[in-house]
Amino acid sequence: MGGVGSVSGGLPYLIGLTGNIATGKSEVGRILSQLGAKVIDADRVAHEVMEPQGPAYAAVVEAFGPGVLAEDGTIDRAILGSIVFRDPEAMHRLEAAVHPATIAEVGRRIAHASEPVVVVEAIKLIEAGMHRLYDELWVVTAPRALQIRRLTENRDLGEEEAALRVDAQPPQEEKVALADRVFVNDGELDELVDKVQGAWAEVRSKLEPVT
């Protein structure tokens, strides 16, 4: 994958980390952070750019109207989510409003990182085209039934709402087809840790000559 990182220059080695909802990509990100990577949560950045003083706030309000605002003027993500997960066109409008500002802010954080490996974690990494900028693309997958169970147990969603959110996303196979590494997260946490540690060791071995 034609990334911007280098094992011979001063730029960080860039890993794009993605996966559909409730597959465990955030858990992989936490493991990588503990191992020494700089992890940038692009989904959190997207939330930040939608805050009232953020660069995407006005675009989101223009796209969806004042009905998505809470009483304090902030964007109510629960209301917004109930709209976009039921309407692909609405999801596209949201992405058009939020992705440019998110990509710009992620790029700024990469530029200021001092760690030799930077991981950008995002559920819409591929859809936003960000994966083309990085040295590797890591994809986390899980069976649909397990995704739904995780959502109902961990995010207080009903089974119907959980299934709606799972099925609103592109097929996991599309992400897997583009991946440099795939992590099937269908077991215990220890198993996932072992998989990530093994992949991390391989990445670090590429960097040994310059670190």
Q: Which of the listed CATH numbers 3.30.70.260, 3.40.50.300, 3.40.720.10, 3.40.50.720 matches domain 1-37+115-211?
A: 3.40.50.300
Percentage above 70 pLDDT, the chain = 94
Instruction: DSSP letter for 12, please.
Output: P
Cβ–Cβ < 8 Å for 135, 129: no
Cβ–Cβ < 8 Å for 140, 19: yes
User: How does residue 209 score in pLDDT terms, banded at 50, 70 and 90?
Assistant: low
What's the confidence (pLDDT) of residue 181?
98
Largest CA distance in the chain: 55
User: How does residue 1 score in pLDDT terms, banded at 50, 70 and 90?
Assistant: low
Q: Which residues face 17 on adjacent strands?
A: 121, 138
Please provide the average confidence, as pLDDT, over all residues in the chain.
93
| Every domain of the chain and the residues it spans | 1-37+115-211, 43-114
The mean per-residue pLDDT over the stretch 59-66 comes to 97
pLDDT at 4 exceeding the cut of 60 = no
Cβ–Cβ < 8 Å for 125, 14: no
Quick: pLDDT tens for 82-126: 999 889 999 999 999 999 999 999 999 999 999 999 999 999 999
C-alpha to C-alpha distance for 189 and 185, rounded to whole angstroms? 8
The DSSP H or E segment spanning 88 is helix 88-111
pTM over 0.85: yes
What's the confidence (pLDDT) of residue 139?
98
Comparing CA positions, the residue from 124, 93, 85 lying closest to residue 106 is: 124
